[in-house]
Amino acid sequence: MYFCHMRIDIITLHPELLESPFSASILKRAIEKKLVEVVFHQLRDYSKDKHRRVDDTQFGGGAGMVMSIQPISAAIEHLKSQRKYDEIIYMSPDGIRFNQGIANQLSTCENLLILCGHYKGIDHRIREEYITKEISIGDFVLSGGELPAAMVCDAVIRLIPHVLGDETSALTDSFQDDLLAPPVYTRPAEWRGREVPEILLSGHAKKIEDWRHDQAMERTQLLRPDLLDTE
């Protein structure tokens, strides 16, 4: 069998929100094949409060609770004592915007720790003390970091070698080469008068490859010209 390439630990108040993305399809198979290990840690288990509270009111007043230092610090310290993390990630709307480049970079890591926030977020000192990367999945606010964490994990795990059946298939996805993917077709060759581009039926591998590249360029120019701006 393969050797386990990556371990991802996720600190969360709601592991049930994370379960299904890892229980189906490609992520499920990656875990079964031991290409990645994903472990959820219930933050409440680390709370010293007798009611297992993990949040408190804000200093300075204002609506909304803040996740307290004690349980998060205890969870991170405990996990850090067991392995060395390449990154300790906090999911946050004010983090760097997630993209394929970050996914590529994270896919080469051995150990990742992801912290999911809730309420108004976490005490800022936790961010200063432990967090090495803050990632946002877009300019909108969700109620918790679990869905963002699952998205990041999905994008990262499918890039781990041997996770996708056909080794080349991740390389031909959108963004991998700063281009959108070309259109794809399957049977039937004609549907409601719409025919599949003839070149794809020609069996001519080189011409097909050129056509796909042209299509990728054209679609990128049309839909996402910003991707073609060289820095």
* Binding stretches for ligand SAH (CB under 6 A): 91-94, 116-118, 120-121, 136-138, 140-142, 144-145, 148
Shortest distance (Å) from residue 65 CB to ligand SAH: 10
We find the least distance from the C-beta atom of residue 111 to ligand SAH, in angstroms, to be 20
Write down the least CB distance from residue 227 to ligand SAH, Å. 21
Tell me the C-alpha distance between 14 and 51, whole Å: 17
**Packing angle, helices 25-32 and 146-157, rounded to 10:** 70
Give the C-alpha separation, 129 to 81, whole Å: 16
C-beta neighbour count of 54 within 10 angstroms: 23
Q: List the structure tokens of 163.
A: 């996770």
- Output 5 or 98, the one with its CB closest to ligand SAH: 98
CB of 117 to ligand SAH, least distance (A): 2
CB closer to ligand SAH out of 33 and 133:
133
- Contact between residue 98 and residue 151 where contact means Cβ atoms under 8 Å apart: yes
Q: Which helix (H) or strand (E) holds 40?
A: strand 36-42
Whole-angstrom distance, CA of residue 166 vs CA of residue 152: 21
Q: Which of 134, 49, 152 is nearest to 92 (CA)?
A: 134
- Residue 85 or 90 having the CB closest to ligand SAH: 90
Residue 189 to residues 211, 212, 213: CA-CA distances in angstroms? Answer: 17, 17, 21
- The least CB distance from residue 143 to ligand SAH, in Å, is 6
Which residue, 36 or 91, has its beta carbon nearer to ligand SAH? Answer: 91
Contact between 219 and 180 (Cβ < 8 Å): yes
Q: What angle do CA 204, 205, 211 make, to 5 degrees?
A: 90
Residue with smaller CB distance to ligand SAH, 106 or 216: 106
Query: Between 145 and 182, whose beta carbon lies closer to ligand SAH?
Result: 145
Nearest distance from C-beta of residue 119 to ligand SAH, angstroms: 6
Instruction: Kindly state the smallest distance separating residue 194's Cβ from ligand SAH, in Å.
Output: 38
CB 151 within 8 A of CB 97: no
Select 148 or 182, whichever has its Cβ closest to ligand SAH: 148
